[in-house]
Structure 1
């Protein structure tokens, strides 16, 4: 499998895990306050990934005591980017989503989450100057149209009331904006260990959201429900985020966000299985618009002659076309591996995405 195909598959798997978590969160809201659900989801994510990192570390040490680290540690200059990502996506985003789920049908909420990919692409283009073409813009427009259709009261699966924008839908849209900011900030640290990034986010965001829940008067629940929420958080927020960061370093913010936009489709399938009902016609129209937008994103191809400037950085890599360098240490041929390396100037033409080596201007 080609590297970019592997990255696309990784992004789609991340989307499946995250999409499935949304209707499960809706089911848990009947028994838990929204901030407690958000807190337990991220605490489960952080704790589960911490255990996974420990197992990984012990496994590596059991193979050889002097093995080099699999990933470079986070640099001090990268910490503000990670802190911003945690505040936006780990604290504000899930809390707003939980508030929105209180009054919004799960299937509608799942489809509204497509807005995250659109907002991610807009921020990547306007603020971080990431390239995207007309096809991507058309796909984003289709997804936005579907989101607007779902946000209007009366267009959901069983919404009712006077015309106007549903407050719950606005909370879900605000959560998407927070995650879009998070995605673009996380891109700045995506060359580092994805598991470490996701673990830190969970261990910070979880206690913060739980603290808010208890401050608002929530009480601790029985162990079974707490364990269930943490398990959903580990897969839907933890493992999903690890896979998302891995895809992010290879595809860039806008493209990864586009592939991640299929998450609601998995959420819709699961939510309609949990709460069987007949959606309104506008629901299917919104679904068609969003599916068309995602299809346009998936079929995009970007190829042109480009120049790589000299670059020094550290990340996990293989000796592909962009990593033809010598080593200043004894190397046993193991790949992938991690070490500081230099990219010399290079001009060539091939299909590519705005990954960690292709963040050039056009």
Structure 2
């Protein structure tokens, strides 16, 4: 989740990053932290929630990489998003529903009714964020390391800002240009692995660019999701997006004759991505926003890429060079500069 530094049609906005895609939501939540001064335990739970969410989201690339050893990217995408949709609809039918929705809509107005045009936007964003982007990401992940993929995903915020500038004519401050430059510098090294001479024939570099392309489509989903952002039942919207994407990928899988088998030993990894990296992260992020504020959550969530690289290094035994670490820190610094509000 990232707090966008600009203004969108007169409203301050927040970007919610959940399961590889973000929701852009106008808000009146205080950008200075927890709305209840002195509520130490509530703030503590807010920090615990966002750190847990970054860990859940960070491990997703590693779990996806493990599944790629036995499953086709389309198969992985189909099952993980179908399971995520089932989980979110299950939450929606339990007593947790009102607690989560009250946390999401704690401040600001929301719309209870979903109109016919909203469903068209919902379908489009579902195709972008749960069909096209996952296919690009999982295909690219098969040709690069989970370390690189986790760090490269930071470029998503760059695309979001550029799209906001081009489409909505957002104004950029001087510090924003510094943040953009730092993100680009870090991304260039990670994309090329420091070797420009082998870009066209290096399979790993191709994988890196596919991951970056996935980040672009997720950022496009974020911008378009503005039109759904004021709806009250975001659990329903997220459940529909996940389910639509999962079933579209399932149809593609059947048409192309791709192996539909979900090996039993891969089921825990699929459940991990679906339930924790997508479903639980969604809930935890909104709880954190309520307790510690959007600005603090925005500053902490980029840690998910660092956790992702660490998980890949420890679990997959992937190389994690000093230069990769420096590039990741440079990108994280750029993100921090973009979203630092000076308070």
TM-score normalised by the chain length of structure 1 = 0.68
Is contact 2:147-2:313 (8 Å) kept? yes
SS of 1:41's equivalent in the other structure is helix
Q: 1:296 maps to what in 2?
A: 337
Task: Give how far 1:218 is off.
Answer: 1.3
Q: Pick the aligned partner of 1:80 from 91, 113, 120.
A: 120
Are 1:145 and 2:181 counterparts?
Answer: no
Q: 1:109 maps to what in 2?
A: 149
Change (3 A) 1:188 1:58: closer
SS of 1:122's equivalent in the other structure is helix
Change (3 A) 1:181 1:297: same
Structure 2 gap ranges (5+): 1-28, 36-45, 100-109
Q: 2:164 maps to what in 1?
A: 124
Q: 1:179 maps to what in 2?
A: 218
Q: 2:311 maps to what in 1?
A: 270
Are 1:208 and 2:231 counterparts?
Answer: no
Q: Pick the aligned partner of 1:25 from 45, 48, 64.
A: 64
Q: 2:107 maps to what in 1?
A: none
Q: 2:198 maps to what in 1?
A: 162
Is contact 1:96-1:175 (8 Å) kept? yes
Is contact 1:114-1:261 (8 Å) kept? yes
Is contact 2:144-2:207 (8 Å) kept? yes
SS of 1:188's equivalent in the other structure is helix
Q: Pick the aligned partner of 2:176 from 119, 136, 139.
A: 136
Q: 1:218 maps to what in 2?
A: 259
Is contact 2:140-2:210 (8 Å) kept? yes
Task: Give how far 1:135 is off.
Answer: 1.6
SS of 1:179's equivalent in the other structure is helix
Task: Please give the root-mean-square deviation of Cα atoms over the aligned residues, in Å.
Answer: 3.4
Change (3 A) 1:97 1:278: closer
Is contact 1:154-1:163 (8 Å) kept? no
Q: How far, CA to CA, are the matches of 1:6 and 1:99 in structure 2?
A: 40
Q: Pick the aligned partner of 1:52 from 85, 91, 94.
A: 91
Is contact 1:113-1:261 (8 Å) kept? no
Change (3 A) 1:284 1:299: same
Q: 1:236 maps to what in 2?
A: 277
Deviation string, structure 1 residues 193-242 (Cα, Å, up to 9, x no partner): 22112101111011112222333321322445335403422221233345
Q: How many residues align?
A: 286
Task: Give how far 1:248 is off.
Answer: 9.8
Change (3 A) 1:6 1:141: farther
TM-score normalised by the chain length of structure 2 = 0.72
Change (3 A) 1:233 1:58: closer
Q: How far, CA to CA, are the matches of 1:182 and 1:240 in structure 2?
A: 18
Deviation string, structure 1 residues 85-136 (Cα, Å, up to 9, x no partner): 1111111111110000111011011101011111111112221234442222
Is contact 1:45-1:239 (8 Å) kept? no
Is contact 2:86-2:243 (8 Å) kept? yes
Are 1:94 and 2:130 counterparts?
Answer: no
Deviation string, structure 1 residues 56-107 (Cα, Å, up to 9, x no partner): 38889xxxxxxxxx97132233233322211111111111100001110110
Change (3 A) 1:278 1:90: closer
Change (3 A) 1:11 1:138: farther
Query: 1:348-359, aligned counterparts within 5 Å?
Result: none
Query: Which structure has the highest helix share of the two?
Result: 2
Q: How far, CA to CA, are the matches of 1:178 and 1:185 in structure 2?
A: 11
Task: Give how far 1:191 is off.
Answer: 1.9
Tell me whether 135-144 or 209-218 shows the greater mean CA deviation. Answer: 209-218
Change (3 A) 1:91 1:260: farther
Q: Which has the larger radius of gyration?
A: 1
Change (3 A) 1:291 1:227: closer
